[in-house]
Amino acid sequence: MNAPASTAARPKTHLAVLLILSATHLLNDLMQSLIPAIYPIIKDSYALDFVQIGMITLTFQIAGSLLQPVVGYVTDKHPMPYSTVVGMMFTLAGLVGLAYASSYTLILVSVACFGVGSSIFHPEATRMARYASGGRQGLAQGLFQVGGQAGGAIGPLLAAIIIVPRGQESLAWFSVLALLAMTLMVWTAGKHTEIRNQIEAARAALSGAAKTHARHSGATIALGLTVLTLLMFSKNAYGESFRSFYTFYLIDRFGVSIQTSQVMLFVFLVAAAAGALIGGIVGDRIGRYRIIWISVLGPLPLTLILPYADFFWTGVLTILINLIMASAFASIMIYAMELVPNRIGLIGGLFYGLNFGLGGIAAAILGGLADSIGIEEVYRICSFLPLAGLLAWLLPRIDEDRAPPRQAG
């Protein structure tokens, strides 16, 4: 949604809808986070190497990335709020398939179902959050993001408590969460239709004041999206070193148990969840441009120290690094929406797709490096990735305070 030209006509913030959207995002990403959480189990059970582990992540994230921009483009023209339920059906199929997979091939097929589910869920849910924001875009995206990040944090903890002691088949127990998510999605879809009708009625009352027109030149849009994509890659590559390989790093470097490594992964993901919410809220106050600078380049001194820290300080640095770095995503997303305000679904699908796809590519690259030079050396190399934050200097300084024009569809 883009706000109408008149502030008085701007719709209210639908906090209940945003909270339920956050809850569905939590459930969606909780189930997806079980994939990397069980890597230590399936690595031993199926005698996998790090390249094969990276390929599992790549399969999941490529399946999620390829369809998301397409889904977003289509739903820009024809909103489909109930499509989120269909997406959750794919996730449910992937969950059950992964629980009972008897071969590496079936594991890949199952995680691909997770990716397809995400590709359907994220673009339309992003649109719902935008419509329900009432102009408080940072709050809306922050709440939506913190749900996903929190779900991603809880997943490894539940894996340590339930899946590690009971085995791979206990994944099927989480099917009840998929059914709960479908129920919530039916409610949010109904509310989305109601809110959208209210907004369209308000626009019609403005006597043409909310007409669509281009705000930014093609060159500005191209430059902005290119820089944002490069920043996303550096951010996701570093983040993927944690999501896919942090447990192995802790086990290899400090000799901790699988359960302890899962708890540490939970700490990392909780920090990321808090950072996503804080970044969205602060971005409403100080602007997306400043938040992007701080969140991408700011962690550099801490990442350089991390490979040489002991176990205690590794935990402390993990929290600080990811608290700062995770604050970028909501601002990157909203900045991109300001660049292309008529294509909210496309931007949502593109950047969630980038989040999946770039992370998957990074996982495959890092898996190969871990096999050849060792997991500890990988973390030393990754410590320099935040230097890419200097690219933020090239971002166009768009007018963030100006009310965007009407969204198509």
What single letter denotes the amino acid at residue 174?
A: F
Q: What does DSSP assign to residue 49?
A: -
Rounded to whole angstroms, the Cα distance separating 99 from 81 reads: 29
Yes or no: say if 349 and 73 are a contact pair by the CB < 8 Å rule: yes
pTM over 0.85, yes/no:
no
pLDDT for position 203? 61
Q: How confident is the model at residue 206 (pLDDT cuts 50, 70, 90)?
A: low
pLDDT for position 198? 72
Residue 47: exposure state from Cβ atoms within 10 A (0-12, 13-18, ≥19) = exposed
Q: Over 80: is that where the pLDDT of 360 sits?
A: no
pLDDT digits (tens, 9 = 90+) for 38-80: 888 888 888 888 888 878 888 887 787 777 888 888 877 777 8
Beta-carbon contacts of 399 under 8 Å, excluding residues fewer than 6 positions away, are none
pLDDT digits (tens, 9 = 90+) for 71-130: 888 877 777 888 899 999 999 999 999 999 888 999 999 999 998 998 889 888 888 888
| Coil, helix or strand at residue 121 | helix
Query: What is the C-alpha R_g of the chain?
Result: 21
Domains of the chain by range and CATH?
Answer: 11-204+217-394 (1.20.1250.20)
Average pLDDT, integer, range 378-398: 88
Q: Over 60: is that where the pLDDT of 178 sits?
A: yes
Yes or no: say if 216 and 343 are a contact pair by the CB < 8 Å rule: no
- H-state helical runs in 46-136: 50-77, 83-99, 104-132
Rounded to whole angstroms, the Cα distance separating 277 from 376 reads: 31
Beta-carbon contacts of 89 under 8 Å, excluding residues fewer than 6 positions away, are 117, 182
